[in-house]
């Protein structure tokens, strides 16, 4: 099972950043999203497609439909610059699979 | 709060063995699984497998069978990853992460394999 993410997204501060995660029939899977800042460990920001852990701002939201899961960051801030990864459980391969990640640049 | 603290960086030679520890705190160790994830620069994340901390049963991803061993010390709240007969291409950062959602991560352990 393969998850496809665009390598980069660039947006201006205060605007909305959208990250896609493509996978066959991904809407039937639970998608988790992570933020990884340079030199740091990943942080879970969205789980089960759209749920936010405590401490994660409401600016972060998730959705999933068909073959695409989406992470949206509203009112982007400079501190949101990071790599963003999606992850699902691959039933057929009996393993967790990560997308290749998308780098967010705040212009 | 939930914390996972890993052992420090290691430099090792091909063919050697390494052991990485992941000490947990802030929650009941046996209430959540521990996953191991590898990150190789330029190659993203690879999920290596997980340990059922209630039973101690380890499950390995298909690409991580044979030379990799997950273990744990439940009273100490600590999980371990051992890599045997290490190869050059095992160089990378190894993370432990809690639960099926990977909702808390250790800081990562850099393992460098060089002759």
- pLDDT tens, position by position, A16-27: 999 999 999 999
Whether residue B44 and residue A101 make contact (CB cut-off 8 A), yes or no, is yes
pLDDT at A58: 97
A76, A14 Cβ separation under 8 angstroms: yes
pLDDT at A41: 97
Largest CA distance in chain B: 41
Chain A interface disruption, residue of B102, B106, B109, most A CBs within 10 A? B102
For A31, the closest chain B residue by CA position comes to B101
**A74 bridge partner residues:** none
| Residue A92: pLDDT band with limits 50, 70, 90 | confident
Whether residue A43 and residue B105 make contact (CB cut-off 8 A), yes or no, is yes
pLDDT at B61: 95
What is the mean pLDDT of the segment spanning A23-52?
97
Q: How many CB atoms lie within 10 A of CB B54?
A: 12
Q: How many CB atoms lie within 10 A of CB B47?
A: 21
| Residue B41: pLDDT band with limits 50, 70, 90 | confident
Whether residue B106 and residue A41 make contact (CB cut-off 8 A), yes or no, is yes
Give the closest residue to A85 by CA, choosing from B20, B5, B46.
B46
Distance (Å, rounded) from C-alpha B113 to C-alpha B115?
A: 7
């Amino acid at each position: 099972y393969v998850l496809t993410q665009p390598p980069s997204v660039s947006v201006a501060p205060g605007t909305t950043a959208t990250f896609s995660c493509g996978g066959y029939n991904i809407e039937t899977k639970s998608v988790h999203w992570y933020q990884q800042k340079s030199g740091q460990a990943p942080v879970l920001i969205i789980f089960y497609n759209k749920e936010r852990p405590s401490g994660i701002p409401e600016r972060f939201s998730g959705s999933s439909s068909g073959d695409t899961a989406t992470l949206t960051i509203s009112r982007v801030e400079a501190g949101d610059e990071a790599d963003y990864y999606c992850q699902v459980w691959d039933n057929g391969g009996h393993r967790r699979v990560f997308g290749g990640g998308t780098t967010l640049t705040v212009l | 709060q939930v914390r996972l603290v890993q052992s420090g960086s290691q430099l090792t030679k091909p063919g050697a063995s390494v052991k990485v520890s992941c000490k947990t705190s802030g929650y009941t160790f046996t209430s959540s699984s521990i996953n191991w994830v590898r990150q190789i620069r330029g190659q993203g994340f690879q999920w290596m497998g997980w340990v059922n901390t209630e039973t101690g049963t380890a499950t390995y991803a298909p690409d991580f069978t044979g030379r990799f061993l997950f273990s744990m010390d439940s009273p100490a709240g600590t999980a371990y990853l051992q890599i045997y007969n290490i190869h050059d291409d095992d160089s990378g950062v190894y993370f432990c992460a809690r639960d099926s959602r990977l909702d808390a991560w250790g800081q990562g352990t850099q393992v460098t394999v060089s002759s």
